[in-house]
Structure 1
């Protein structure tokens, strides 16, 4: 898989949307638009970033894996926005040339919960999105979306389906314990996660996110014995030096054939 190193190389798109009008990003590769969704009972607005990719192309999850370009979102210019919460659908696992990556082929509907400063006032969102798209090569792409969100708006079937594709919570998946052993290394930390949960089907994959900036995490070595799933990774600071791991910030995602589960935080042994 070849990577183009210049972040501004190919597929740069700058389009401003109103409502759900499409923004075209090199039409032979993908199109993007903002689904404006509806106002929730808690006053937040549920919207979604919607990508349609050409056959053979994919884009990446928030943790792209061994090779890939992680997506980034800049909400500068938005008005009456207090917080933004992503509800990522379960990603696919791709394996190629000994590398494992996580993402979405053909289509991604990414639900985004917009929390307003004042729910009684209009919400205007503007987002600049940088992401990677891959086929035989991987290239960076950029686009912009913007809209004044409708109130109350209307239920959106595509967003609802994407919300149902989120990983289960630890409680929903029957996780009875989540512990992490931390072993200091010369260049970082070795983390061994020990999870008590029923099998999710097939060859399970565990993704460990440190919850800290500037920390590289290796692919996990995963073993299962009965209801115990163990995953071992190396964590290394990209700046060098020690890492102060925060147990409550660690996010563990287990991807199985039948379902997925997210576990926030892990206790000491």
Structure 2
């Protein structure tokens, strides 16, 4: 059974640009089709010295955007903080995705809205996070189009964490219990990885491999004897079989009760 992110049709290769100003979230007149508003939420300082903000998107009815794993032909979201010089490092903390069924295909993403927490490490903690963030993402109705947004950085820190950010953090995938086991086998252009965990109720899965230039196929998801197995092909930059460390493999299972995540797998 195929069980994760795919596009509904070939992507329309057009770049759609929206410029967002510090005055607040832009509205539909200045945004790509399918996007009603977009902004970065006020940043709040954290005890570890980082600041927490979030990308907030409101989508038009029927439209969706991708989760962090875009599938074989999807559009992976990308963030460029070079226009905000006080950002030394940034990490996206993804909430659990929705399973979206459309025209016989299944995708992992978000309808209606997305609040994506972003943890920023300032180069100078005494200065605000100012400048611009460039975001590339896919927006989908019957076809998926790439969109490019420029968002004003949050500026001065807020006194407390926005409740929308707190809710998104609470909805992140739970850490899976037990150990994930994997088997690896070479294929002509990479490796076949099968990850098994004791679980039940999974309706979709995503297999991800840490590292630049890694392409992962839509996994096959099977359940037998109380074990769930997701099997996918992994192709690296060389297009040849390669040594794959199980610690680089991440499995996410999504069901009606939310998402469960396993980082790393031990040899079967």
* Fold-level similarity (TM above 0.5): yes
Aligned pair partner of 1:3 in 10, 30, 45? 10
Q: Which residue of 2 aligns with 1:249?
A: 248
- Aligned partners of 1:126 and 1:144 also within 8 Å: yes
Give the 3-state SS of the residue equivalent to 1:6 in structure 2: coil
TM-fit CA distance, 1:206: 1.8
TM-fit CA distance, 1:104: 0.4
- Aligned partners of 1:179 and 1:266 also within 8 Å: yes
Mapped pair 1:211 → 2:210: yes
Inter-CA distance 267–4: structure 2 relative to 1 (3 Å threshold): closer
5 Å-filtered alignment, 1:81-120, equals 81-120=87-126
TM-fit CA distance, 1:257: 1.1
Inter-CA distance 68–148: structure 2 relative to 1 (3 Å threshold): closer
Give the 3-state SS of the residue equivalent to 1:160 in structure 2: helix
- Aligned partners of 1:34 and 1:47 also within 8 Å: yes
- Aligned partners of 2:39 and 2:152 also within 8 Å: no
Cα distance per residue 1:73-127 (max 9 Å; x no partner):
1110222222111111111122334533211001000000111233333333521
How many Å separate the matches in 1 of 2:60 and 2:120? Answer: 29
Mapped pair 1:259 → 2:263: no
Aligned pair partner of 1:77 in 83, 105, 111? 83
5 Å-filtered alignment, 1:39-78, equals 39-78=45-84
How many Å separate the matches in 2 of 1:214 and 1:226? Answer: 35
- Aligned partners of 1:68 and 1:101 also within 8 Å: no
5 Å-filtered alignment, 1:147-166, equals 147-166=153-172
How many Å separate the matches in 2 of 1:112 and 1:162? Answer: 11
Give the 3-state SS of the residue equivalent to 1:163 in structure 2: helix
Give the 3-state SS of the residue equivalent to 1:159 in structure 2: helix
Which fold has the larger relative contact order, with Cα–Cα distance below 8 Å and residues 6 or more apart in sequence? 2
Inter-CA distance 135–148: structure 2 relative to 1 (3 Å threshold): closer
How many Å separate the matches in 2 of 1:218 and 1:100? Answer: 14
How many Å separate the matches in 1 of 2:101 and 2:157? Answer: 43
Inter-CA distance 181–152: structure 2 relative to 1 (3 Å threshold): same
- Aligned partners of 1:214 and 1:239 also within 8 Å: no
Q: CA RMSD in A?
A: 2.1
Task: Identify unmatched segments of 5+ residues in structure 2.
Answer: 1-7
Give the 3-state SS of the residue equivalent to 1:248 in structure 2: helix
Q: Which residue of 2 aligns with 1:220?
A: 219
How many Å separate the matches in 2 of 1:58 and 1:5? Answer: 15
Inter-CA distance 5–237: structure 2 relative to 1 (3 Å threshold): farther
- Aligned partners of 1:3 and 1:139 also within 8 Å: no
How many Å separate the matches in 2 of 1:151 and 1:22? Answer: 17
Inter-CA distance 138–120: structure 2 relative to 1 (3 Å threshold): same
Cα distance per residue 1:136-192 (max 9 Å; x no partner):
22211111112353335323111111111110123xxxx211111101122221111
TM-score computed with the length of structure 1 as normaliser: 0.87
How many Å separate the matches in 2 of 1:169 and 1:125? Answer: 35
Give the 3-state SS of the residue equivalent to 2:42 in structure 1: strand
Aligned pair partner of 1:16 in 21, 33, 36? 21
